[in-house]
Amino acid sequence: MDRTYRVMIIDDEESARKLLRGGIRWESLHMEVVGEAASGIEAINVIDDYRPDIVFVDISMPFMNGIEFTETVTERYPYLIIIIMTAIDQFEYARKCVSLPVFEYMLKPMVRAEITKVLERAAEKLSGERDNWEEQREDETPPADENNPTELIRRYVEQHFTDPTLNLAYVSQHFGFSASYLSRKFKQDTGKNFVEYLTGLRMEKAKELAASHEKMFAAASEVGIPDPNYFSRCFKKYTGVSYSEFAAK
C-alpha cells in the first residue's frame, strides 16, 4: 500500500497558500496538505503537530524568512523535503544559499505542471530514505541511564521557553531522545502534549505582561513568539479574549 506523504505550506500571503492548496491534485500524488503557517515562527511552533514530509516555504516572510526557517529545521528534521518559493528579484539571493539542504527553488508564480514534477521527485526521494529512517527512530530504545526524564525536561523548558526556536524536536535532540518517544513519555507523565505545555508557559507569562500593560508586540517577543499575529491568535485561544481586552481589565 502506498504511503500518503504529508505536506505543509508556509507563506505569509493567505491567497498564495490557498492557491497552492487548491491548485494541485494531491491525492493523485499520494499526498495531503496537513497544515499551513503564515510565518516561519508560527511554523516552528506547529511543525511538531503536523509532522510534514514536504514543506513549501516562501523565502520572504516577516520575523523569520524562508532561509532562516530552513537553517533552523534542517538539523532537527534531517529528511524533511524543503521547497523554497521565491520571486524573480529574490532568486539570486536564494541560489546563493547553496549550502542549505534545499530540495528545490521554485519561482513565483509557480506552474502546476512544474510543481507536480517536483513533487513526484520528492516522493521518490522520500520513499527511498524516510521510511527506513522513521523505522529506526520509532524502534529506538531510550538511553540506558534514562530515569524518567520528564521533570528534567519540564525544568529545561521553564528556563528556555522564551527561545522562539524551542520545540519538541529541539528538546528531543538536546536530551538525546527520539521525538516520538519523548512526545509519548511527556504526555503520559503530564497529561499534556509538549506543545500545549510550552504554549501554556508562554501564555501565562503573556498574561502577566498584559496585566502590567506591556505593548503586545513587546510581550510577543518576550515570551518567544515574535510574530505578533500568531501570538495574538495563541493568546485569544488560551484566554478567550484578545490581548488588548485582557490588558484593559
Q: Residue 97: what pLDDT?
A: 67
Report whether 35 contacts 46 (CB < 8 A). Answer: yes
Residue with cell 500545549: 196
pLDDT above 90 as % of the chain: 69
Report whether 9 contacts 54 (CB < 8 A). Answer: no
- According to DSSP, residue 54 is labeled E
pLDDT at 196 over 90: yes
Task: Give DSSP secondary structure letters for 7-51.
Answer: EEEE-S-HHHHHHHHHHS-TGGGTEEEEEEESSHHHHHHHHHHH-
Q: Residue 249: what pLDDT?
A: 83
Mean pLDDT of 62-87: 89
Range list for CATH 1.10.10.60 in the chain: 150-247
Q: Which fold has domain 5-138?
A: Rossmann fold (3.40.50)
Mean pLDDT of 98-120: 90
Mean pLDDT of 20-31: 96
Range list for CATH 3.40.50.2300 in the chain: 5-138
CATH number for region 150-247: 1.10.10.60
pLDDT band at 53 (very low <50, low <70, confident <90, very high): very high
pLDDT at 105 over 80: yes
- Tens-digit pLDDT profile for residues 156-170: 999 999 999 999 999
Mean pLDDT of 5-26: 96
pTM of the model: 0.85
Q: How far apart are CA 140 and CA 136, in angstroms?
A: 6
